[in-house]
Amino acid sequence: MEWRHRNLIGLEGWTREELLFFMEQANYMEEIINRPIKKAPALRGKMVVNCFFENSTRTRVSFEMAGKMLSADVVNWSSSGSSAAKGETLRDTAWTLEAMGADAVVVRHGQVGVPDYLAKKLRSAAIINAGDGTNGHPTQALLDLHSAWKRLGDLNGAKMAIIGDVLHSRVARSDIQAFRRMGVSITLCGPATLMPEDTDSLGVKYVSDVREAARGADILYFLRIQAERQEAGLIPSTDEYHRRWGANDSTVALASKNAVVMHPGPMNRGVEIASSVADGPNSVILGQVRSGVAVRMALLYLCLGGAR
Amino acid sequence: MSIILKNGVVFDGFTLGTEREDILVKDGVVARRGADLAEEGARLIDCAGRIVCPGFIDLHAHFRDPGFEWREDITSGARAAAAGGYTTVVAMPNTEPAVDSQVAVEYVISRGESAGGARVLPAACVSRGRKGGRMAELGLMAQSGAVFFTDDGSPVSNAGLLKTALRYSRDLEVRIMEHPEEPSLTEGAQVNEGAVSASSGLKGWPSSAEVIDIERGVALCRETDSPIHFTHVSTEHGIDAIRRAKREGLPVSCDVTPHHLSLDENYVLVGRFSSTYKVNPPLRTRRDVKMLWNAVEDGTADAIATDHSPYHMDDKDVPFQEAPFGIASIECSVAVVLDTWRKLGRPVPLERLLSLFTSGPGALLPRSWRSLGALREGARADVTVIDMEEVRTVDVSEWKSKARVCPWSGEMLQGWPVLAMVDGRIRMNRLEEVK
């Protein structure tokens, strides 16, 4: 397949065939991770800049490992102590990075649309969205898809429940795009105050009762509940949240027998997910992390022209 | 110096003529209207195929002067307005310092007089420092020439202050213009609440934020019997509230903007979060756009006002969430409305549409300026000529305005103003002389 995406801003433009092709590529990459010598020369001489304006450990490290396993040079640029702290605009920062010769800029930013903005400003560097505000986190969606697909096979017709703070979740938005494209039907669940106003427009269903959402589901996806939602008064307390929507063994028991339990991490054990579920037989949470490296390797490889 | 505008079709502010006519302008007034006029030494301008209208009035523009002159100043703003076909513009008072005193009102007037563009009439603040606390010196500012009172940029959030100001201004013949927004519902909001906020996660700006403030203003208008004007109304339900108040006979009026008549919330997504589409109130749904056109048709909307909000590139060319709210449009907004009207299949009669640039807004000004909205013998010669066939591309690099970011930049629009005249002086002209 001729790979036509130079950037990854969002998954809107990806077809089902492209997603499947991408999964296969990620499988090859996972083989490299499993080798005793985890290094392939595919991206030797390519310069990847991790440009993180927001705190992140797993995503940044995952991109860094992915780049290094493919022999790219990876440098980390973080906003603290940098030009951003001195008042430089994002436009100038981006032009500076490009002038230095970056081949790919992996960007994480707290604001919606920053990767779009950079893609409009930069001529030569590939832009990869590592999370923009509440809008999207497409590599998370790809890794979620990869780990669900590995366990369940063809996802067409599968049922997925996404439970938690959808309103503020870029993971949920990207997962909805990716899983729907693969033929998965999605039900959102959680407090109405943590749901977008217009869920119909997203092509998904909403139910408030977690048992109803979990019943017969093939994928149970739990989102992180941040303490600040309680502070903002959107939920009465994290304790009430846990009792009404938190994942426990009885929630998982309602799902289909081989259902997978997923979480983007980092987890708040005892809030959105009980330890018995997080560490239980249905959990693929660590598999997601491993898929994360494989998926980011595949992405860097394809976007930086390794396939050509 | 006299000028004859030859062979145009005349729109007098209310009805569109059917025959070719001439307009003779002499000593700054419309001296005569009729067929085949002649005058010794007069300059003859060929208006054949064009529509000769009363000068267009924009009730709502931000000229950023004093205080933010790198974004716009009164001179650049007034010239931009004339280039866009306007002959009178009401300048908003959210400057630094705010226009909340007689001296500031007089500053705006005197800068406007020397600008060589459209006539600039000042709006003054309702509250001192535009802080929403104490009432400003409304009477003195009215004496100096303020034509509206508004804390625009913000609503008058304190209902007690709004009621006091409505009562106090009742004998001043100067309307209060309210920016309808309930702030507790819009904190941190970026886009219309609905499909776009759902898919982007950007905080939604609900329709209720507008409706609640309009309903509050209507209730206070009912009690005080003092006129109130709601500016940049953007939602179906906001329009409904105003329509009901008008049917009740209350002295309520409103304007709608060219951008809310032509763009909807989907542009935020299609434009990949381009900050040019970030505006307060936000671009709304397709249905809201349709309902605004209904308001134009049935007279619920009294005026089309630009809410021209210029910013410097360095302010506006940043990611969406960082960008300030505002669309700069005064140099193309007449064309935007005419082009949209044509593309929508002419949803309202042309004379109705043109009245929202002329007699509609004119009727909301203090008595001394009210004649501006009509083209009559003996009236001030404020004239805008439009050409419904002219096709031009919006080229921001040629703008008189200091703004360079605009949703229609590079777009071909059909229907443009081709001449603007203020008190008999030509401020913009693309027409040829009759040889």
Residue pair B385/B53 in contact by the 8 Å Cβ criterion: yes
pLDDT (0 to 100) of residue B190: 97
Same domain, A157 and A274: yes
Residues B297-322 have a mean pLDDT of: 96
Rounded to the nearest angstrom, the minimum Cα separation between A253 and chain B is 31
Q: What value does the mean pLDDT of chain B take?
A: 97
Same domain, A89 and A162: no
pLDDT at B186 over 80: yes
Q: How far apart are CA A168 and CA B118, in angstroms?
A: 47
Q: What is the pLDDT of residues B333-370, one digit of tens each?
A: 999 999 999 999 999 999 999 999 999 999 999 999 99
Q: What is the pLDDT of residues B42-69, one digit of tens each?
A: 999 999 999 999 999 999 999 999 999 9
pLDDT (0 to 100) of residue A85: 65
Tokens of B245: 């108040």
pLDDT (0 to 100) of residue A216: 97
Identify the band that residue B291 occupies on the pLDDT scale cut at 50, 70 and 90.
very high
Residue A272 CA: distances (Å) to CA of A161, A230, B256: 14, 13, 46
B393 touches A at CB < 8 Å: no
Q: What is the ipTM of this complex?
A: 0.88
B192 touches A at CB < 8 Å: no
Nearest to B94 by CA among B64, B72, B69, B119: B64
Q: How far apart are CA A70 and CA A297, in angstroms?
A: 7
Q: Which of A46, A137, A170, A224 is catalytic?
A: A137
pLDDT (0 to 100) of residue A194: 95
Residues of chain A with confidence (pLDDT) below 50:
308
Which amino acid is it at B161? L
pLDDT (0 to 100) of residue A231: 80
Helix, strand, coil percentages, rounded to 5, for chain A: 45, 15, 40
Of A109, A114, A173, the CB nearest to B201: A173
* Domain extent listing, chain B: 55-373
CB contact under 8 A, B197 and A197: yes
Residue pair B74/B120 in contact by the 8 Å Cβ criterion: yes
Parent domain of A42 = 16-137+291-303
Same domain, A110 and A145: no
In a domain? residue A1 = no
Q: Which of B22, B152, B307, B387 is catalytic?
A: B307
pLDDT at B96 over 70: yes
CB contact under 8 A, B198 and A201: yes
The total number of structural domains in chain A stands at: 2
Same domain, A169 and A278: yes
Minimal Cα distance from B321: which residue of A?
A111
Same domain, A105 and A154: no
Q: Would you give the DSSP letter of residue A186?
A: E
CB contact under 8 A, B318 and A90: yes
pLDDT at B295 over 60: yes
pLDDT (0 to 100) of residue B75: 98
A86 an active-site residue? yes
Beta bridge partners of A51: A77, A107
Which amino acid is it at B123? A
Nearest to B89 by CA among B104, B76, B100, B71: B76
pLDDT (0 to 100) of residue A80: 67
Task: Please state the CATH superfamily assignment of the domain spanning residues B55-373 in this structure.
Answer: Metal-dependent hydrolases (3.20.20.140)
In a domain? residue A266 = yes
**Which positions in chain A touch B201 (Cβ < 8 Å)?**
112, 133-135, 167-170, 173, 196
**Which positions in chain A touch B272 (Cβ < 8 Å)?**
9, 113, 116, 119-120
**Which positions in chain B touch A135 (Cβ < 8 Å)?**
200-202
Same domain, A101 and A150: no
CB contact set of A20 (below 8 Å; sequence gap of 6+):
none
pLDDT (0 to 100) of residue A287: 95
Q: How far apart are CA B271 and CA A120, in angstroms?
A: 11
**Which positions in chain B touch A199 (Cβ < 8 Å)?**
198
Rounded to the nearest angstrom, the minimum Cα separation between A166 and chain B is 9
In a domain? residue A3 = no
pLDDT (0 to 100) of residue A306: 64
B199 touches A at CB < 8 Å: yes
- H-only helix segments in B120-275: 138-144, 159-168, 195-200, 207-224, 236-247, 258-262, 266-270
**Which positions in chain B touch A196 (Cβ < 8 Å)?**
197-199, 201
Minimal Cα distance from A175: which residue of B?
B199
B307 an active-site residue? yes
Instruction: Give the CATH number for residue A59.
Output: 3.40.50.1370
